[in-house]
């Protein structure tokens, strides 16, 4: 017993080092798996507060360009609204459910990163604004990510530029499904895997969300095909997609809540 | 003692804020960022207990990780850097270290450069290998270590020269 205590006292520096090192490696491993980084995330009072204070100042520098983006989007939405007025006359049988499948909330990005392999964003909406895990996040141009951890006022968003995120996507012209996975190289391009060899694809084709994951509605644009090749098994394509979003310049985003998600989840869990 | 404590607390907070608010948004050539917050570990008083510096480095890394959403990557790298610091000190300063009389303001530039370089490379190697977490991307780890390392060493030298108190 005496010897054990002596050993601990003699090597206390090394043991402390070993302990703290393994604790931090544990945190690291947790952060590399989906929805696990419970303790170490920036959705808390301290880091969120610091980021929102700084964002309060720095948002003024991009006001002009962000205004232009918003005006452009308004323009696009107006043109859709006024050109499709006649369709609004059609009758919905179940009028209670009409238009309530997806709820949208606006949010502002406080922290954006795109240069490491697991990129995470911070937005200024949290449980107070009824934002919860697994809500989708999009911008006016396309898809951005999925809400990961939430606190009262803030939420972290697992970007599509994250090796853990797998988003179900499909070709716009056919219904061939694949999953969107980032290879970690450049923030302009992401990869679409598992599109079968039989699918007719061409450079320049548009990729949209499939709606199968019930996080995003079907048809949110993602990007266009830049180039493609067959994978090792020669059964499916590895497609390089150029994103519509400029992931390095994001300010205003929309959080999507699928109202039916709990129902879908409980149904799938019953099986 | 009180003065030393306040100097190091202020240095801790300033370096963390500078790192997360400025240095992590440089993105030179797309991905190269300096990590000059390890100056805190490098310039920590030598006479102090080794337990203290390892614990403080852990909290320093954890603070950075909280802000950057990187799990425990920075904490691990900082703890490792703090642990190997005596060896690096011995290697780069030799006999002065053995007599425990180093003043970081008065050592010559060459040995200071070697000291910062060794600490930076050790820190970055752990940082990027844990961040990428993939043995098949070892080339990318080395590449990032090298490029970010050069940037960090440069920043560290600049900051330590600008803020050194020569008039004593």
pLDDT tens digit sequence for A185-196: 888 889 988 888
Q: Classify residue B21: in a domain, yes or no.
A: yes
pLDDT tens digit sequence for A129-149: 888 888 899 988 888 999 988
- Is ipTM beyond 0.90? no
The Cα-based distances of B23 to A4, A119, A154, B79 in angstroms read 45, 17, 23, 21
Q: Do A13 and B50 touch (CB under 8 A)?
A: yes
Name the closest residue on chain B to residue A53, using Cα atoms: B21
Q: What is the DSSP string of A104-169?
A: EEEEEEEE---SSSEEEEEES--GGGT--TT-EEE-SSSEEEEEEEE-SS-EEEEEEEETT--EEE
| Residues sharing a CB contact under 8 Å with residue B73, sequence separation 6 or more, in sequence order | A24, A28, A31, B65, B127, B130, B131
In the structure encoding, which two tokens stand for residue B140, read together? Answer: 């990318």
Q: Which of A28, A46, A111 sits opposite B71 (nearest CB)?
A: A28
What are residue B71's phi and psi, to 5 degrees?
70, -120
SS3 B136: helix
Cβ contacts of B124 on chain A, cutoff 8 Å: none
Q: Over its length of 271 residues, how does chain A's per-residue pLDDT go in tens digits?
A: 888 888 888 888 889 999 999 998 888 888 877 666 667 777 778 888 888 888 888 888 888 888 888 888 888 888 888 877 655 555 555 555 555 678 888 999 988 888 788 888 999 988 988 888 888 999 888 889 999 888 888 999 988 888 888 888 888 888 888 888 888 788 888 998 888 888 888 888 898 988 887 888 888 889 999 988 888 888 888 899 999 888 888 888 999 888 888 888 888 887 6
Query: Which of A8, A17, A155, A182 would you mutate first to test chain B, the one with the most B CBs within 10 A?
Result: A17
Cβ contacts of B33 on chain A, cutoff 8 Å: 115
Q: Do A24 and B75 touch (CB under 8 A)?
A: yes
Total structural domains within chain B: 1
* Chain A contact for B55 (CB, 8 A cutoff): yes
Domains in chain A, CATH or no CATH each: 45-81+93-162+248-270 (2.40.10.340), 167-243 (2.40.10.350)
Cα–Cα distance between A47 and A41 in angstroms, integer? 9
Q: Classify residue B168: in a domain, yes or no.
A: no
Residue B110 lies in domain: 2-162
Q: Average per-residue pLDDT in chain B?
A: 85
| Residue B111 clears pLDDT 70, i.e. is over it | yes
> Looking at chain B from residue 78 to 107, which residues have their Cβ under 8 Å from any Cβ of chain A?
79-80, 82-83
Contact status, residue B29 vs residue B146, Cβ threshold 8 Å: no
**Distance from the A53 Cα atom to the nearest Cα atom in chain B, whole angstroms:** 11
């Amino acid at each position: 017993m005496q010897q054990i205590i002596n050993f601990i006292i003699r090597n206390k520096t090394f043991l402390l080092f070993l302990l703290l090192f393994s604790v931090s490696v544990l945190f690291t491993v947790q952060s590399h798996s989906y929805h696990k980084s419970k303790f170490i995330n920036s959705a808390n009072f301290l880091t969120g507060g610091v980021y929102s204070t700084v964002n309060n100042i720095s948002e003024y520098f991009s006001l002009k360009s962000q205004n232009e983006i918003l005006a452009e989007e308004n323009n696009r939405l107006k043109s859709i609204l006024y050109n499709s007025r006649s369709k609004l006359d059609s009758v919905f049988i179940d009028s209670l459910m009409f238009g309530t499948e997806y709820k949208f909330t606006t949010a502002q990005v406080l922290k954006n990163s795109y240069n490491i392999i697991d990129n995470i964003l911070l937005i200024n909406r949290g449980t107070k604004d009824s934002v919860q895990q697994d809500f989708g996040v999009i911008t006016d141009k396309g898809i951005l990510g999925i809400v990961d951890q939430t606190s009262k006022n803030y939420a972290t968003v697992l970007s599509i530029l994250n090796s853990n995120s797998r988003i179900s996507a499909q070709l716009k012209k056919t219904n061939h499904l694949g999953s969107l996975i980032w290879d970690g190289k450049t923030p302009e391009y992401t990869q679409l895997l598992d599109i079968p060899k039989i699918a007719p694809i061409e450079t320049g084709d548009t990729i949209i969300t499939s709606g199968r994951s019930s996080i995003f509605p079907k048809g949110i644009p993602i990007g266009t095909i830049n180039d493609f090749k067959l994978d090792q098994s020669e059964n499916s394509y590895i497609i390089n997609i150029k994103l519509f979003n400029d992931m390095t310049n994001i300010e205003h985003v929309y959080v999507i809540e699928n109202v039916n998600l709990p129902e879908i989840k409980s149904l799938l869990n019953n099986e | 003692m009180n003065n030393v404590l306040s100097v190091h607390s202020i240095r801790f907070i300033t370096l963390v804020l500078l790192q997360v608010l400025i240095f992590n948004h440089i993105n030179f050539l797309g991905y190269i960022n300096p990590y000059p917050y390890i100056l805190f570990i490098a310039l920590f008083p030598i006479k102090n207990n080794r337990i203290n510096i390892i614990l403080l480095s852990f909290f320093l890394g954890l603070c950075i990780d909280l802000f950057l959403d990187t799990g425990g990557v920075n904490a691990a790298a900082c703890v490792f850097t703090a642990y190997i610091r005596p060896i690096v000190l011995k290697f780069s300063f030799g006999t002065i270290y053995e007599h425990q009389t180093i003043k970081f303001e008065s050592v010559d530039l060459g040995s200071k450069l070697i000291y910062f370089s060794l600490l930076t490379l050790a820190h970055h190697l752990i940082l990027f290998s844990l961040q990428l977490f993939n043995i098949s991307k070892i080339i990318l780890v080395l590449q990032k270590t090298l490029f970010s390392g050069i940037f960090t060493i440069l920043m560290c030298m600049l900051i330590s020269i600008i803020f050194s108190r020569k008039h004593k």
